[in-house]
Structure 1
Amino acid sequence: MVKIFIDPGHGGTDSGAVGNGLQEKDLTLQIAILLRNILLNEFEDVELQLSRTSDQTVSLNQRTNAANNWNADYYLSIHVNAGGGTGFESYIYPGVGAPTTTYRDQIHDEILAQVDFSNRGQKTANFHVLRETVMSALLTENGFVDRTEDAEKLKSSSFLSQIARGHANGLEVAFNLTRKPTTLYKVQIGAFSEKSNADQLANEAKSKGFETITLLRDSLYKVQIGAFASKENAEQLETRARNEGFEVIVYQE
């Protein structure tokens, strides 16, 4: 079990950096919640705690004390920058060695692989959250709210999701996280003992615009028109197929 403490910077009366209609406290919380959801939904043996889950004021001492008292394995503080620059940078406490430096480099690289930010480099700083935590700690600065080109990206929910995905991918690499088995919702329109019958149905479905695959399972040739991680997407395809006159079942595998 890996215990990760996620710290969305600022909050409540402390807005953090502001610019272009954005407040740092709002962005950090959005990224942190997205990251939490990715880790909980996709990985096994991960325990999470957040310094805040709403727009509330939390002191620096409260943040680090919570992580230390919880005996977290890793402290990840998420921030957004200001000051006229552009791009992404990450910080650890000066003078620390491995594994903190290794974790930083891995997470840094994975974030940049996901987002269209210039690389401002891996840096050190005497920040409270890096100095007062007893576990390895990292602080990320995800773009500049007062830089128009960065701010336009940060206004996009999909871009914030990419930032969160980069953090998640970095944590996966750093801590060798195990992914949960993927459950797929499969949409099937027929099952036959004779392959020729399955091929005939598959050709009919193709003529109506469906992508098909015929699989031999349990001594039957099964015609499948889709497989989705999302049940909602599977049900949408099910409705479309029924409207075209096919008998449809949706099952999990």
Structure 2
Amino acid sequence: MKIYLDPGHGGSDSGATGNGLAEKNVTLAIALKINDILLTEYRNAETRLSRTTDKTVTLQERTDDANSWGADLFVSIHTNAFDGTAYGYEDYIYSGLSDESVTALYQRIIHEEVIKLNGLRDRGMKKANFHVLRETVMHAILTENGFIDHPDDSAKMKSAAWIEQTARGHVNGIAKCLGLAKSGTSSYQLTVDGGQIGTYQEKADALQLISSHWGAFQTAMIEKR
């Protein structure tokens, strides 16, 4: 399964700033850790990043690259800012998608897994007309990992342990969405309405996904691989 990781901003575009931090650096740290965990711990994960260093990449370049590569999932990683009073985690999918779409299902799964580990206030699941959500041809989600101008959220961002926990929350969600299999294990492929959702290490995990979202599709098939 191909996962495209998009650390927001970079280079001449610092993104949001606050409390001695720049968004472009926090997002890159999270993305690199997600990439490391995926490649180290899962045998059927292939990754690509819009940037691996502090360089400028346009929004069009990001989506063009992901589309031409043929990604299965696009994850854009950001931090938020407002006026120093707002705080917490939220994520977005494209505003043109229904709540019954597979992308919305992926959002619910990733949101739940990230919130379990990041220690941030839950600001909910949202939709927006962001370029990276609109112009990607695969399932796409954008995560806003705290408010960089809030003292409590930014203090967490300065912690390597928080970066790792936030990354692992993303990975846990991605793995559930795509059914990534741990290295050295057998797996079960899940197909919903004729399209492959992912490959799961445990059959019970595939069954749980089916039962939890029974109304979102018509047919489901599990095949041992």
Q: Does TM-score exceed 0.5, indicating one fold?
A: yes
Equivalent residue number for residue 107 of structure 1:
110
Code of the residue aligned with 1:68 in structure 2: it is: N
Partner Cα distance (1:4, 1:77) in 2: 11
* Residue 45 (structure 1) shift: 1.1
SS of equivalent to 1:45:
coil
Is 1:163–2:169 an aligned residue pair? no
Equivalent residue number for residue 55 of structure 1:
54
Partner Cα distance (2:96, 2:17) in 1: 31
Code of the residue aligned with 2:141 in structure 1: it is: L
* Residue 179 (structure 1) shift: 0.5
The structure number with the bigger radius of gyration is 1
For structure 1, list consecutive stretches of 5 or more residues without a partner in the other structure: 183-253
Partner Cα distance (1:20, 1:117) in 2: 17
Q: Residues 95 and 127 of structure 2 are in contact (CA less than 8 Å); yes or no, is this contact kept in structure 1? A: yes
Identity of aligned residues (%): 52
Q: TM-score, normalised by structure 1?
A: 0.70
1:62-91 CA-partner distances (Å, limit 9, x unpaired): 000000010111110000000031000000
* Residue 115 (structure 1) shift: 1.3
Code of the residue aligned with 1:93 in structure 2: it is: Y
* Residue 181 (structure 1) shift: 3.2
Partner Cα distance (1:112, 1:144) in 2: 15
Partner Cα distance (1:181, 1:162) in 2: 24
* Residue 95 (structure 1) shift: 2.8
Partner Cα distance (2:133, 2:96) in 1: 11
Code of the residue aligned with 1:118 in structure 2: it is: R
* Residue 3 (structure 1) shift: 0.5
Equivalent residue number for residue 87 of structure 2:
86
One of 143, 146, 158 as aligned partner of 1:140: 143
1:31-42 paired onto structure 2 within 5 Å: 31-42=30-41
One of 118, 125, 130 as aligned partner of 2:133: 130
* Residue 60 (structure 1) shift: 0.3
Code of the residue aligned with 1:162 in structure 2: it is: Q
> Over the residues paired in the alignment, what is the CA RMSD in angstroms?
0.9
1:32-64 CA-partner distances (Å, limit 9, x unpaired): 000000000000111100000000000000000
Partner Cα distance (2:97, 2:73) in 1: 14
* Residue 96 (structure 1) shift: 1.1
Displaced runs of 4 or more, over 6 A: none
Q: Residues 43 and 184 of structure 2 are in contact (CA less than 8 Å); yes or no, is this contact kept in structure 1? A: no
Equivalent residue number for residue 3 of structure 1:
2
SS of equivalent to 1:80:
strand
1:1-253 paired onto structure 2 within 5 Å: 2-83=1-82, 84=84, 85-97=86-98, 98-181=101-184
Q: Residues 10 and 57 of structure 2 are in contact (CA less than 8 Å); yes or no, is this contact kept in structure 1? A: yes
SS of equivalent to 1:117:
coil
Question: Which one is further off, 33-42 or 172-181?
Answer: 172-181
Partner Cα distance (1:131, 1:21) in 2: 32
SS of equivalent to 2:95:
coil
For structure 2, list consecutive stretches of 5 or more residues without a partner in the other structure: 186-225
Query: Aligned residue pairs: how many?
Result: 181
Partner Cα distance (2:166, 2:118) in 1: 6
Partner Cα distance (2:96, 2:172) in 1: 26
Code of the residue aligned with 2:43 in structure 1: it is: E
Q: TM-score, normalised by structure 2?
A: 0.79
Partner Cα distance (1:172, 1:131) in 2: 23
